[in-house]
Amino acid sequence: MPCEIIANPNMEITKVNSKWPDVKNKSIVKINSLTKIIYQDQDDYWERYNMRSWWMRDGHDPWTEDPVWGDGYKKPDLNFNSCVNDNYRWKCGYSYVLRLPENFKKNKRYPLVIFLHGGVNSDTRRLNGRIRTVNSFYIPKNDQYIIASPIKLGIDWSAKKIQDMIAEIYSQLKIDKKRVYLTGLSMGGRGTFIVASELSNTFAAIMPLSPHHTPYSYISLAEKVSHLPTFLHHSTNDKTSKFSVAEDMFSKLSKINDNVVFDIGNFGHSGWNKIYSNPKHIEWLLSWRK
């Protein structure tokens, strides 16, 4: 039953006893166990802006067991309790997709890259586009890593929910905890700053791409992420996320952080798959250890 476990207070980890699907011989798997958790005081912008519950439309429910949506889409059989109805599902924990390395070995310890997607509302095209982005990541043959891609229903990304996701992954897979990385695009770029600022001792490096500037500026988070190597990308002709805000963030970060890269592009509000598929950028990210 979804949203039945009340999350522990503050940043205390909430654990769920659920059996994972078999990951052997699979390149990509879907994990829905954390959707059983309901979080209080998380992302109240949803109600403030009177957002629509896009996941209730036919064929759009992202809590399906399949990581990819398409012709074979099967609507999940969900039974909400009295704590939360489906309109308030954004209060629940993240469903997420894992991309596993080639020839994945369960006893091998891997780096972990967490990818935060952009956008607020969604549809099957965007959901599948996020999987295509995950599949675009360059993975060195001699330094393969696991990618975790949570699916956000609310407006902002939640560090508390990401923390519980990381804890669950640690409990199921062997992860090199000195090599955990965070990246995201648009609202996920903004979310990269938000999550990293609250989980200050979790990540070895971060890579925010085209971070969105609303509902409040992320520049105030600069000091909280100043210890982290940061690859910040933004295009000058981006008409969705303000380049000037990213420019100000770089200016502030570069005064207090010796390991900041500002990658300036001209892709508009796009071009992220080119960045993720570029060996130079991914090798920069993977070169850092906590």
How confident is the model at residue 83, as a pLDDT?
A: 62
Average pLDDT along the chain, 290 residues, taken 10 residues at a time: 91 93 88 94 75 84 84 82 79 95 94 94 70 94 97 93 98 97 97 97 98 94 98 98 98 97 97 97 98
Q: Are 152 and 145 a contacting pair, CB within 8 Å? A: no
How confident is the model at residue 56, as a pLDDT?
A: 86
The residue segments making up the domain with residue 125 are: 5-286
**Domain count across the chain:** 1
Which CATH number covers residue 37? 3.40.50.1820
Distance, CA of 201 to CA of 225 (rounded, Å) = 10
pTM of the model: 0.96
Q: Are 32 and 65 a contacting pair, CB within 8 Å? A: yes
How confident is the model at residue 8, as a pLDDT?
A: 97
Distance, CA of 124 to CA of 268 (rounded, Å) = 23
Distance, CA of 20 to CA of 255 (rounded, Å) = 45
CA distances from 15 to 25, 93, 110, 169, 242 (A): 26, 11, 22, 11, 38
